[in-house]
A and B are shown apart, each in its own frame.
Chain A
Amino acid sequence: MKLGKLMAAASLAVMATSAQAEGVKVGMITTLSGGGAGLGIDVRDGFLLAVKQAGRDDIEVVVEDDQRKPDIAVQLADEMIQSEKVDVLTGIIWSNLAMAVVPGAVAQGKFYLSPNAGPSALAGKGCHPNYFNVAWQNDNLHEAAGAHANDAGFKNSFILAPNYPAGTDALTGYKRMYEGDLAGEVYTQLGQTDYAAEIAQIRASDADSVFFFLPGGMGISFLKQYADSGVDLPVVGPAFSFDQGILQAVGDAAMGVKNTSQWGKDIDNPTNAGFVESFQAEYGRLPSLYASQGFDTANLLISAIEAADISDADAFRAALKAADFDSVRGEFSFSDNHHPVQDIYVREVIKEGDVFTNKLVGTALSGHSNAYVGDCKM
């Protein structure tokens, strides 16, 4: 049998002591190897930290690595549902893997709590009562960027994203809120690392601002090259290119850039302050938004376990929907299609001592839901 179990200290105690009574078994499928591993590691660490802090002895977490491959993710989901007999699945970072795993899993009666990926298909036509997204719907942070662009007075934006569904969704989300004109709309190649051509186009257009969605290494490359190019237009983007893990690699090139996020480490409430401090104490690094999402997902689950029994699916579902837990984001509730209704903030990249991080400078959208509620026929 596959041995890749990584258990939190609390779960280890469970194995050694009590008989497995009415505990909840959680299967976490996330990316722990290869280039995108940073995100999965953060989600896992945030999730396990919350489980540890809850101190309950009836939660068991099985963690597996999906290597960012859809077929491995499907295989792991099968293993978790059929062999490990988990009750709840979670962990997937990427939308394409989520699309491979979630429909099948929820159709088999399991609950899925997404700590990251929020594809529009699962928010609209493909929504399901057992699917809950604790982070955001994919378009949200881009819509917030569009709203911020209006507030900042941008009239002629140049927008770019890679040519794949998340990229096209990003530009659609931005355009949904943004009210100005577009100086240019460019789809780059997925995995592209050289943006000289696109930056030259930005320079030649009469744009007054730039919006981009380029996750991972693509964003690092773009920011560095943009900073070096002498084009001085204000840049705005979603937090995915400015999270704590990536910022150190970008360095000064990211200074002053605005990014939109549903979380920042300086959101002012006790849960968040406790989270940031304990995360840093436990893992020796500052948390990113992915870690905060993992943390909130675990706490949502724990709140449902406290309110209802997992064997009563309807009651458990209602408990999840009630979302009666302390979120690091403050107020938290679900829309009718099980995505968060929340404030989305504007952050600015600053330097604190030697470390690059984000500082909250404003709110782009308040109490924002998502655009697909009407399509969901739950």
Chain B
Amino acid sequence: MTTTLLIEQTLNGMQFGVMLFLMAAGLTLVFGVMGLINLAHGSLYMIGAFAAAATSAATGSFALALIASLMAAAIAGVLVEMLVIRRLYDRDHLDQVLATFALILIFSEGTRWAFGSFPLFLDPPEILSGTVTLPFGIIYSKYRLFIILVGLAVAAGLFWMVARTRIGIQIRAGENDREMVAALGVNISRLYTLVFALGAALAGLAGMLIGAIQSVQVGMGEPVLILAFVVIVIGGIGSIKGAFIGALLVGLTDTLGRFLLPKGFGLVMDPASATTVGASVASMAIYILMAAVLIFRPRGLFGSA
């Protein structure tokens, strides 16, 4: 095991973390501002990916596919918010869980009805394919680097929005005290729709970016949804900073765990068992991490009291 490999794996962990951040950012905003658990977030991710695949197949342009995924996810988000979510703000978490669980069923089978059961094709554009050589002689995929940069840009944009714009102030105030904000004359329902649409667009963007190097198929959002929840819980609900740090932590733990744990076990047991045991423990690693964080910081790392 060389230093180069270790550094490359760390980069991979960061890239995975950035991908998770895109998913988690929308989720944490929605939960923090509106107090709403949205299980259908994974479906918005899937819609973004499918919209991009369909647009890319029809036009051949990656840029158009990007715009299509953002718009499709945002529009789906707005529709869902106006038709369903709006009635759930006053309800308790249970009703929200059931309603958004029902939405997952509708979206998944609806997508399968519209697009068929086989996975769709989506590839990164030519200019972003291939590799680039980084310092230390690391050969890294251009597209993955692109994803890291986009993720960092989105993070920076969100930080700026929350800290320095009017909308950001409204969001932060809304997280603190919903009724007061409404009483002070802010159009709460428009704010909520906006936040939901923003969260949906972020999920759609994530779906498209990641779908290009993975597979675009029905149900692709569920595993990511679980991970996104893990991230926002570790980071603290409602905190963008928490989502970012949490995402990086989860990404690094998972990637480095899968890489180092089998080797670690290999020091004390035979290679065959070490690989299987190591792989098993690695698959549980992020959940162990989350449980550990919650036991010591029951509100997550940056969660508000």
Task: Check if A and B associate.
Answer: yes
- Chain A positions within 8 Å of B, measured between CB atoms, are 33-35, 37-38, 41, 163, 168, 185-191, 193-194, 196-198, 200-201, 203-204, 216-218, 220-221, 224-225, 228-230, 245-246, 248-253
- What are 13 A-to-B residue pairs whose CB atoms are below 8 Å? A33-B109, A37-B117, A185-B271, A186-B275, A189-B258, A189-B282, A193-B210, A194-B255, A196-B12, A196-B141, A203-B139, A216-B215, A228-B131
**Known interface pairs A37-B117, A220-B119, A246-B118; A229-B214 also in contact (CB < 8 Å):** no
Considering only residues 212-237 of chain B, those with a C-beta below 8 Å from chain A are 212-220, 223
| A225 touching B123, Cβ below 8 Å | no
B 107-134 binary contact with A (CB < 8 Å = 1; else 0): 0110010000111110110000111000
The complex places the Cα of A249 from the Cα of B2 at a distance, in Å, of: 35
The complex places the Cα of A220 from the Cα of B120 at a distance, in Å, of: 10
CB distance from B68 to the nearest CB of A (A): 18
| A196 touching B16, Cβ below 8 Å | yes
B15 at the interface (CB under 8 A from A): yes
**Known interface pairs A189-B282, A189-B283, A249-B118; A196-B215 also in contact (CB < 8 Å):** no
CB distance from B156 to the nearest CB of A (A): 23
- Chain B positions within 8 Å of A, measured between CB atoms, are 1-2, 4-5, 8-9, 12-13, 15-16, 19, 108-109, 112, 117-121, 123-124, 129-131, 139, 141, 143-144, 210, 212-220, 223, 255, 258-259, 262, 271, 275-276, 279-280, 282-283
| B5 touching A204, Cβ below 8 Å | yes
| A187 touching B275, Cβ below 8 Å | yes
The complex places the Cα of A253 from the Cα of B212 at a distance, in Å, of: 12
Main secondary structure on B side of the interface with A: helix
Q: List chain B residues, Cβ under 8 A from A216.
A: 215, 217
| B275 touching A246, Cβ below 8 Å | no
Q: List chain B residues, Cβ under 8 A from A186.
A: 262, 275, 279
Q: List chain B residues, Cβ under 8 A from A217.
A: 119, 214-215, 217, 220
Q: List chain B residues, Cβ under 8 A from A250.
A: 121
CB distance from B78 to the nearest CB of A (A): 27
| A188 touching B218, Cβ below 8 Å | no
The complex places the Cα of A100 from the Cα of B129 at a distance, in Å, of: 44
Q: List chain A residues, Cβ under 8 A from B213.
A: 221, 224-225, 228
Contact of A230 among B5, B108, B112, B139 (CB under 8 A): B139
| B279 touching A34, Cβ below 8 Å | no
Q: List chain A residues, Cβ under 8 A from B259.
A: 197, 200-201
User: Which among B1, B117, B212 has the highest number of chain A CB atoms within 10 Å?
Assistant: B117
Contact of A246 among B108, B119, B280 (CB under 8 A): B119
Q: List chain B residues, Cβ under 8 A from A33.
A: 109, 112
**Known interface pairs A185-B271, A251-B123; A38-B118 also in contact (CB < 8 Å):** yes
Q: Identify 17 new A-B residue pairs, CB closer than 8 A, beyond the known A187-B262, A189-B279, A193-B214.
A: A33-B109, A34-B219, A37-B112, A185-B271, A186-B275, A189-B258, A193-B223, A197-B12, A197-B13, A197-B255, A200-B9, A204-B1, A217-B220, A224-B214, A229-B131, A230-B130, A246-B119
| A200 touching B12, Cβ below 8 Å | yes
Q: List chain B residues, Cβ under 8 A from A38.
A: 117-119
Q: List chain A residues, Cβ under 8 A from B120.
A: 249
The complex places the Cα of A57 from the Cα of B223 at a distance, in Å, of: 46
The complex places the Cα of A246 from the Cα of B144 at a distance, in Å, of: 23
CB distance from B143 to the nearest CB of A (A): 6
**Known interface pairs A33-B109, A197-B258, A200-B9; A249-B283 also in contact (CB < 8 Å):** no
Q: List chain A residues, Cβ under 8 A from B255.
A: 194, 196-197
| A248 touching B217, Cβ below 8 Å | no
Q: List chain A residues, Cβ under 8 A from B121.
A: 248-251
Contact of B283 among A163, A197, A246 (CB under 8 A): A163
| A187 touching B16, Cβ below 8 Å | no
CB distance from A294 to the nearest CB of B (A): 15
| A220 touching B215, Cβ below 8 Å | yes
Nearest 10 pairs of A and B residues by beta carbon: A220-B215, A196-B12, A217-B215, A187-B279, A230-B131, A249-B119, A221-B214, A37-B117, A204-B5, A35-B219
The complex places the Cα of A193 from the Cα of B119 at a distance, in Å, of: 14
Q: List chain B residues, Cβ under 8 A from A196.
A: 12, 15-16, 141, 144, 255
The complex places the Cα of A34 from the Cα of B216 at a distance, in Å, of: 13
| A230 touching B141, Cβ below 8 Å | yes
CB distance from A193 to the nearest CB of B (A): 4
| B276 touching A163, Cβ below 8 Å | yes
Q: List chain B residues, Cβ under 8 A from A37.
A: 112, 117
| B215 touching A221, Cβ below 8 Å | yes
| B118 touching A245, Cβ below 8 Å | yes
| A204 touching B117, Cβ below 8 Å | no
CB distance from A178 to the nearest CB of B (A): 16
CB distance from B71 to the nearest CB of A (A): 23
**Known interface pairs A186-B275, A204-B5; A191-B223 also in contact (CB < 8 Å):** yes
Q: List chain A residues, Cβ under 8 A from B129.
A: 228
| A228 touching B15, Cβ below 8 Å | no
Q: List chain A residues, Cβ under 8 A from B124.
A: 228
Q: List chain B residues, Cβ under 8 A from A198.
A: 258
| A35 touching B118, Cβ below 8 Å | no
Residue of B nearest to A163 (CB): B279
Residue of A nearest to B218 (CB): A35
Q: List chain B residues, Cβ under 8 A from A201.
A: 5, 259
Residue of A nearest to B2 (CB): A204
CB distance from B122 to the nearest CB of A (A): 8
The complex places the Cα of A318 from the Cα of B96 at a distance, in Å, of: 58
The complex places the Cα of A280 from the Cα of B139 at a distance, in Å, of: 44
The complex places the Cα of A191 from the Cα of B220 at a distance, in Å, of: 10
CB distance from B255 to the nearest CB of A (A): 5
| A185 touching B141, Cβ below 8 Å | no
The complex places the Cα of A196 from the Cα of B147 at a distance, in Å, of: 13
The complex places the Cα of A229 from the Cα of B123 at a distance, in Å, of: 14
CB distance from A212 to the nearest CB of B (A): 15
